[in-house]
Structure 1
Amino acid sequence: MENIISFRHVSLIKNQNKLLSDINWQVNPGEKWAILGLNGSGKTSLLNVVNGYHYPTSGEVSVLGKQFGKTNLPELRKQIGFVSSSLDKFAHVLNRELAEAVILSGKFASFGVYEDVSEADWEEVENLMERLRLGYLQGKPFRLLSQGEQRRVLIARALIQQPSILILDEPCTGLDVYSREEVLDFVENISDDCHIIYVTHHIEELVNQISHVLLLKDGKVFASGKKEDMIQEALLSDAFRVSCHVRWEAGRPWLSLESSPFVLNPSRIN
C-alpha cells in the first residue's frame, strides 16, 4: 500500500465556512502522526474527513488505499479505531457494563453488547486485556474505574477490531498527571502494526511512538514532517501565536512560554 492516508488539495466548506483549505498530507506505512494546532485550526474537521463523516468539498482523499467516491465508507470505518472524549456521551451505557464487556462491544461497533457472544469472543477479550496489562480490571464495573483506566479500556475497545488506523483525539483531556502518564505509557506500547493519529494541544504527550507531526493553522497545513523537525521553537511560536521555549526530557518535548503573551491593564483588576 503506497499511502495509509492521502489528502491532495483537500478543502472543506460547511455552512459557508471554510474549515479546511488546500490540505496536502500523506501518512506512509510505519508512520505514527500527531496533529497539533489551536482550537479552530481544523483538527476535528480533518479527523471527520479521515473517518468519512465529512466528504471534502474539493480535492482527493484516500484512506488505506480506498479512494473516496469509489469505496464504501461504512465498511472502511471498520478498519479505523476511534477514541475521543466525545464518547463520554455514551457514559450512561458504559457505566452499566463491566470493563471486559465495554472492550467486547468494540467488536460489534456498539455501546453495549447486543449480539450473541461466543466463548472465542470472550477469550479474545481476555487475551487482549492480558497483553495490554488490563487483566486486573476483569470483573470490575466501568463506572468504578479511574479516569485513566477508563481511557485505557476505551482504547482497548478500539483495538479489539485490530484496526489499521487508531485515531486518538485528545485522549488525555481531563486527566490528572498520573492518569495521563498511564494512558501515554499505554499508547507507547501499542503494536507497530497500528498506524496512530494522535491529536493533542500538548507537545509533552508526544511519546517516542510518535514519528511525525502535522501542524495546522487556520484550516491550512502550517508545517508537516518528522517530529524532531516540527517541534522547533520558531514553528510552534508561530503556530500557537505565543513565544515558546522547548526542552527535551526523556525523549519527550516540553513547552513553556518565554513570557506572558498578554499585557494586563492594571486598571481592570480590582
Structure 2
Amino acid sequence: MITLENVSVYRNKKQILKDVNWQVKNGEHWSILGLNGSGKTTLLNIVNGYIFPTKGDVEVLDHVFGKSYIPKLREEIGLVSSSLQKQLRGFDSVLSIVLSGKFGSIGLYEEVEKKDVELARHYMELLNCSHLEDEQFEYLSQGERQRVLISRALMANPKILILDEPCNGLDLISREELLHFIGKIAEREDAPTLILVTHYTEEILPCFNHTLLIKEGQVFAKGLSQELLTESTLSEFYGRPISVHEEQNRVWLALK
C-alpha cells in the first residue's frame, strides 16, 4: 500500500525528514505518534503526493513517484484534517458536503445521481450524522464536523483513509463517540487502510495494530502497537519517565 525508502526532505536548508523507511501492507491499520514538529504532517503530505522527497523513493498504491500521475493517486486517498475543514464553505449543507467527496471538490458543482445520494446517506447513518443532512456546516459542533468529513472521505471509496488528528479540539464524550465510529469503519469488510495521526496513545484503538513512532524527523521505532506502546519504549521516546496504564485495550500515559 505504501513504501518509503530512505526518504529525506529539506526545506529552507533545514532537514524535516531524515532517511525514513516505512512500509504499510494491505490489511494493516497504522497509527503515527509524535510530538509537535516531529515531521508527521510532512510525512502525510508525501503519502498524499503534495510534497516530493528531496531524496529517496516513494510508492503509494502502485504509483511510483516521478513516474506516475499523482493527481490520480489522490483520488484513491481519503483525508480528514483541520486544514480541509477550513477550506469548506460554511454555508453548504451537510448533504452537499458529503456528496462533494465523490468528486474531491470544495463545493458541489457536478450533477449527482440518486445512487450518490443514497450512498451519502448510508455513510452519514454509519457516522450518526444523517439527522444533520440539511444543516449548514458552519453551525455544527466540532465532533459533528469530523463525522461529516469522514462521511465525505468515504464517498470516493478510498483505498487509504488518513485521519490527521481527528480528535483535536473534542471534549471527552465527543472524542469517545468519534473513536467508536472509527472503530466501526475498521471492522467493515471493505474498510480502507486506516492511518491515524495523533499526539495521544489513548486514541490508538485496538484496530490500529501497527504504530510508527516519529521523533525529530526520524523513525524512532515501528512495528506492532502492543510491542511499542510500553513504559520502556515510550520513556525513551519522550525522554521522560512514563507510566503506562492499559484499559479497554488502549494505552493511557502519565509522567512519573
Give the SS at the match of 2:101.
helix
Aligned partner of 2:83 in structure 1 is: 86
Which residue of structure 2 lines up, in the alignment, with residue 123 of structure 1?
118
Q: How far apart are 1:90 and its partner, in Å?
A: 2.1
| Cα displacement string for residues 11-61 of structure 1 (whole angstroms, at most 9, x for unaligned residues) | 111111111111111001100000011111111111111011111111111
Aligned length: 253
1:33 alignment counterpart = 30
Shift of 1:236: 1.2
In structure 2, distance between residues paired with 1:166 and 1:226: 19
Cα RMSD for the two superposed structures = 1.3
Classify 1:211/1:141 alpha carbon distance in 2 versus 1 (closer, same or farther; 3 Å): same
Q: Aligned residue for 2:107?
A: 112
Q: CA deviation at 1:140?
A: 2.5
Structure 2, gaps ≥5 residues long: none
Q: Is the 8 A contact 2:57 2:65 kept in 1?
A: yes
1:250 aligns with 2:245: no
**Letter of the structure 2 residue corresponding to residue 257 of structure 1:** L
Larger Rg: 1
Cα distance in structure 1, aligned partners of 2:105 and 2:63: 24
For residues 187 and 240 of structure 1, the distance between their equivalents in structure 2, rounded to whole angstroms, comes to 27
TM-score relative to the length of structure 1: 0.90
Q: Which amino acid aligns with 2:20?
A: I
After superposition, residues 13-28 of structure 1 pair within 5 angstroms as 13-28=10-25
Deviation, structure 1 residue 127: 2.2
Structure 1 segment 51-200 matched on structure 2, within 5 A: 51-91=48-88, 93=89, 95-190=90-185, 191-192=188-189, 193-200=191-198
Q: With structure 2 as the length reference, what TM-score do the two structures score?
A: 0.95
After the TM superposition, which segments of 4 or more aligned residues of structure 1 sit over 3 Å from their partners? none
In structure 1, C-alpha distance between the alignment counterparts of 2:120 and 2:197, rounded to whole Å: 26
For the residues of structure 2 that align with 1:111 and 1:172, how far apart are their CA atoms?
22
The superposition leaves residues 120-168 of structure 1 with CA deviations (integer Å, 9 ceiling, x where unpaired) of: 2212212222333332222222233221111011011111101000011
Partner letter of residue 9 of structure 1?
Answer: N
